[in-house]
Structure 1
């Protein structure tokens, strides 16, 4: 493929290098990356479409799945189109304003997704521990309110990040050894005092990720305690089955995000390409697998998706027949 190097020079531009040491393999790396992105995008779009169209799925649990799908689409789309331009066409230059905007959206959507996962854990807690009060505690309107609160929290927490970055002097290298404008990758380029930026990043990590993970763990500790007290084996299986999908999604989100965060600050011995791969997979793999996991584990959603799939296939077969 031709190498269209459109990297502008100047103090108002950052240069994204992609994956250092593996530049020659960018085209090959782009193949699994683009496949993950397309599968995740279409899968999450299908979830949003089916839940929106089916009145029977207008329930708190499925509204939360829609929120999760939308944040997944937003997170992967805020990174992958730009990264694929770098891999395919060697378009490396990004303006400072564009870089700060990308940083804001990536981290805002990550914090929003964490809030959705907390709400989903609370939803499972109420459904299993207080089933008779489920409809009064978690109505559709209340779920929508919780989603709005999560979005406002994400914006308020993350908005200072690009504002603090915009005040830093970048008087030396403008080369970011990454595929996107990750907060700490940009901070490391500054030749000024970055103490406030680093401290604010730590506060966000501990306050948001730490608090949210604690709430989720407490919810599931109470859930498992309630399940173990139930004498019915069928009840055990049903309750644990409904929680399995949520636990898988939470592990896929928090594990790579914590690994990426810790290696950026404390993993000096880890090769840069390992860190950058993990930072990209954290934004690609969960959005790809989430709709698959929920499609497999949630019978009602699986049946509705199957209905639309059969309808599309039958329409396609009819069209071919007429031709």
Structure 2
């Protein structure tokens, strides 16, 4: 007689089997990696490399292909949540799939065709473990997402949070609940906000004061913009070779992305904490002045342009 856990594993294995039967898509980033690293741009070229007994990177390529990307994770999220798998179910699913002798198409873009692979057990293990099926999101967070998000958007957010680089314990769980609830009221698309939040949390996962964590990130971004502004001023006076001889290093920063992140941090903090820092005052030789709202923040960006 099947236990509830075994039944869940069997049901999810069928869902995963169907997903694999539909094939694994070679996305733009993967194709670029194949092309730039191995000069692979077609199924035939990939097949030739995988069949080469002297090729040392075969396993790396296969593991890359069989690591679920975001589209796969989102597509399976509803099934993963429904079947509520527990410890041990991952290996049950791998074993069930391994008994099927699967043929998995590797689908290249732009109608370039496909290559069929019969994945061994280790690749099936890579695929199943990459879905993180045993993790359960906190109930308050699931309820907030289900109550406030459209089904497709909710599945995408759940999949992102399932693979979060930090534990979704308190106070992070309550943080995301407030963010999700406000998004529904404002009609705002919040996936970029969630991605930024997770990146910030991952920098200091043990921090309890989340507001201070966001403000510290904002200050670092402002400092980087200031460094970029100083460098551009120096570059206007001297050429690059002279600056290098003086030991001046070029800042590595995407200024537009930094500005977007700063504005996003302010929006997030106003949403969740209902406050942001009252002024942007950092010791610097670039005069920022005193700023307290979005118009003033735009003024600061103009100064740093």
TM band (smaller chain): under 0.3
Q: Highest Rg: 1 or 2?
A: 2
Q: Which has the higher contact order (CA 8 A, sep 6+)?
A: 1
Length-normalised TM-score, structure 1: 0.25
Structure with greater helix share of residues: 1
